[in-house]
Structure formats: C-alpha cells, structure tokens
Amino acid sequence: MPELPEVETTKRGVEPYVKNETIKKILVRNNKLRIPFNKNLAKKIINVDIKEIKRRAKYIIFEFVNGYSVVIHLGMTGNLRVSKKIKYLKHDHIIFYLSSGNVLIYNDVRRFGLIQIYKTKESYFLLDNNGPDPFEKEANADYLFSRIKNSTASIKSILLNHKIISGIGNIYASEILFATNISPTRIGKKISYDECKNILIESKKILRKAIKAGGTTLNDYFNAESKPGYFKIQLKVYGRDGEKCKSCKSNISKITQSNRSTYYCKESQN
C-alpha cells in the first residue's frame, strides 16, 4: 500500500508536469473506484490553470486558479504516471490530457483509490477526517500528548489512527517505536510528554529518509512503477522477527495488534 513517503514521491514526481498546465480533456475508462470520479464537475476544471500541487496526509491535491481542486488517493494499488505517448496499460482508469501534450494516467489494479473534484474552500470530507501528518505544524508534542493522554489504546494503534495522526503506515509505526524505545503494547496514557516529542522527531526522520530513498527512482518516472521507499531504507525491526536486535543482543519479536503485524525488541523497548 502506498504510504506517506510513496505519496510524497508521487506528488513530487508529477508536480513539474502538472503545475501551471491545464487539463484539456478527461477520459474515464473505468469509473468503478472506491468513490466514482464525479465527472459531472469536469467542466469546472477543463482549461483552467493548475496553480499548486499539494499533499495532505496520503492525499494529493491539484489546486486550480478558479477555486476548484482535485483530490487523488492511491488506495491500495493506485499510481500516477506521466507519459508522452498514450499506450494504455491494463488498469489505466482515468486519463488527463494536459496542455503540454503529456498525459497523466491513473492506474489502479484493485480500485480502492479515488479521484474527486471539489470546491477548494468547501474542502473534501475525507480530508477533514484526517489528523495532521508528522510534517505539519499542528503535529507538535502538545497536540499529540493532549490527544493520547487519556487513551487506553496501544501506542502502536494510536500511530496508525489517521484521525489522530495521519500518514504513518504499519511498517513505519514499528520503526518509529523502536527508534524511541517505546513498547508497541504500552497504552496512550502511559506515554509521557517527552516521549510524544520524540515520537514526532523520529517519525519525521524516518519518513524523510524514505522520501529521499523514493526520490531516487524519479529519474525513471516515465517508466512508472517506482519501488516504494521502504524497500530502500534499512528497516531495523520490521520483518526481522527472530533476528538480532540492532541495539542489544535479544531477538526481535513479532506480535499481532488489531490484525496488523508489529515487530519490536522486548529488551530495548518498554
């Protein structure tokens, strides 16, 4: 599943091809996405300059100069690619013809993603449900501490709860907790203010590293299918059950929390 670093990489990848361009035409080949593309609003964005490309949590947003926006979520398997020539691949569902002559193609095998046009100032309901991601200013220690200080949920599930903090996926949650020496089973109200601070510092560090790793694949962006950033960063605990911890001599454990795998060191994290 594309995580925040892959979404940021995608955003950076398409930005130079989309910014200050207009969309001439939109072709919908298959509209059975998580929420069908609301193409009835397409006329609002055709031939209108795209002034900015943004990312909020795992959503990519194109802002048009006339007060409309397009939000894109990649779902489980979605990806965007820019191409000069139109050679349709299987699962190419929505195609934007750009003023430059390039095409921007949304491909999604499992179709859990979405593309929606909305009025920028009215926002989009899915965006409103998201807490800040670790890079946003609101995501400071005061915020995190106040959101979790009465919580009896495990810190692992808190990190995956996008209503509290968005953009931290399952792999990164294990890595962040290892970096902060916090056990994934500890509950929210047992996490100190300083630990909240640390969690945010390490979240940014780890995500930034993954974004950087993902960024190196941008050179062959035209070939699309860039590998997710986490394949390129060294994971310290995720997927390493039974192997030696990198800071003590214990073995890494694997447990299941809310149906998701968690990896951690029982010695180093408590």
Q: Could you say which of 245, 253, 262, 263 contacts Zn ion (CB under 5 A)?
A: 245
Q: Does 265 bind Zn ion (CB under 5 A)?
A: yes
The three-state secondary structure class of 62 is strand
CA distances from 264 to 5, 26, 158, 261 (A): 22, 47, 16, 10
Which part of the chain contacts Zn ion (CB under 5 A), choosing from 71-79, 81-89, 151-159, 247-255?
247-255
How many angstroms separate the most distant Cα atoms in the chain? Answer: 62
Q: Which is nearer to Zn ion, 53 or 255 (CB)?
A: 255
Is 10 exposed, middle or buried (CB count within 10 Å of its CB: 0-12, 13-18, 19+)? Answer: buried
In the block, tokens 């309901």 appear at 125
Q: Could you say which of 20, 248, 258, 270 contacts Zn ion (CB under 5 A)?
A: 248
Q: Does 18 bind Zn ion (CB under 5 A)?
A: no
Q: Could you say which of 102, 107, 174, 268 contacts Zn ion (CB under 5 A)?
A: 268
Q: Shortest Cβ distance from residue 177 to Zn ion (Å)?
A: 12
Q: Does 237 bind Zn ion (CB under 5 A)?
A: no
Q: Report, as residue numbers or ranges, the catalytic residues.
A: 2-3, 58, 260
Sheet containing 92-98: give its strands across.
23-28, 92-98, 103-108, 78-83
Q: Which is nearer to Zn ion, 81 or 236 (CB)?
A: 236
Binding mask 190-229 for Zn ion (x = CB under 5 A): ----------------------------------------
CA distances from 262 to 19, 199, 267 (A): 39, 16, 15
Read off the amino acid at residue 112: F
Distance CA 7, CA 167 (A): 9
Q: Could you say which of 49, 52, 241, 267 contacts Zn ion (CB under 5 A)?
A: 267
Q: Which is nearer to Zn ion, 80 or 245 (CB)?
A: 245
- Residues in contact with Zn ion, counted by CB under 5 A, come to a total of 7
Q: Shortest Cβ distance from residue 84 to Zn ion (Å)?
A: 50
Distance CA 208, CA 172 (A): 11
- The residues binding Zn ion (CB under 5 A) are 245, 247-248, 250, 265, 267-268
